[in-house]
Amino acid sequence: MKAGLVYDPIYLEHDTGDHVENSHRLVEAMSHLKETGIRERLISLPARPASLEEVELIHAPEYISHVKSKAEKGGGWLDPDTLLSPKSYAAALYAAGGVLVAVEAVMTGEVDNAFALVRPPGHHAVRDRAMGFCIFNNVAIAARFALRKFNLKRVLIADFDVHHGNGTQDAFYSDPGVLYFSTHQYPFYPGTGWMDETGTGKGEGTTVNFPMAAGWGDDEYLRAFNEVLVPAARRFEPQLILVSAGFDAHWADQLAMMRVSITGFAQMSMILKGLAAELCQAHLVFTLEGGYNLRVVASSIKATFDALLGSPEIDDPLGKTPAARKPEGFDEHIRAIKGMHRLES
């Protein structure tokens, strides 16, 4: 099994200081991969900057120019959450381009699957503005790039970041060629992603939101994947699966209130790998989104690579969440979502 790793030191030059989304996330992750011996088992895929034409597949030219100009003038805040430093524009181009490199490597058979360890993250960025730590929408750019370059008809984007990927949803809300599936805490930032947001026009039904109540964890996430994502994906028959991998739904993450474990993330990755093998010649690309507890992020990335490499064992140094009462109502919730998307067995 050949698993690819996309990484470039330029991602550390997106300097956000003591902002919660900072370079230590990747420093810790890369160190952990090396220390555990996983790094030497991965095929390095050198990142490249996305071209303006590629970024414009999703973003408005005037917005791209604004980001470039602001960075050249020393940076500053793009929105109340998203900070730009002098090197952030270049890093953002490399973040988008890094995911494109991963897609190319998977689609051409250079590797079986890949994980792009990039920053800044992307799934909140919309056509004409930054949001939620995100400058360019890396996974959305990659999906549209794959559809055009490889003449694909259907791409699945699975997003398990704790925050809803509003930018990704917006990009493909009326597009029948992209199935967007998201699990996310709700209500929570950015306020989108209720179950009745299912797409519009020709894209009706190709947005599948699974909002989660605070306190739900591994059991609920795995049921959402097995009972909603799996049948929806089988019906859609994607030719490529892209994954927005955010590890902030972990019980130890300081920004959210979910109870997923590293074991849970690894099991979700295994489900996605199985779907890719079953449906699309194993074409599977992960890209990093959120996750702000450094130990959780590093260990979850390692566990994801274990899954991509085919290891049956899961290394979870933090274990399951401390015992707590879970909110009720999951059975009714999942029935409503399955009914809405006609996934009843």
Sequence-separated (6 or more) residues with CB below 8 Å from residue 315: 36, 262, 299, 302, 303, 306
Q: What span, in angstroms and rounded, lies between the C-alpha atoms of 334 and 208?
A: 12
- In single-letter form, the type of residue at position 112 comes to D
Q: What are phi and psi of 231, to 5 degrees?
A: -65, -35
The tokens 């549209």 sit on which residue? 144
* Catalytic one of 14, 32, 123, 124: 124
- In single-letter form, the type of residue at position 248 comes to D
Collect contacts of 276-279 with beta carbons under 8 A, ≥24 apart.
276/113, 276/241, 278/234, 279/233, 279/234, 279/237, 279/238, 279/241
Known active-site residue 124: yes
CB atoms within 10 A of CB 97: 26
Positions marked active-site: 124
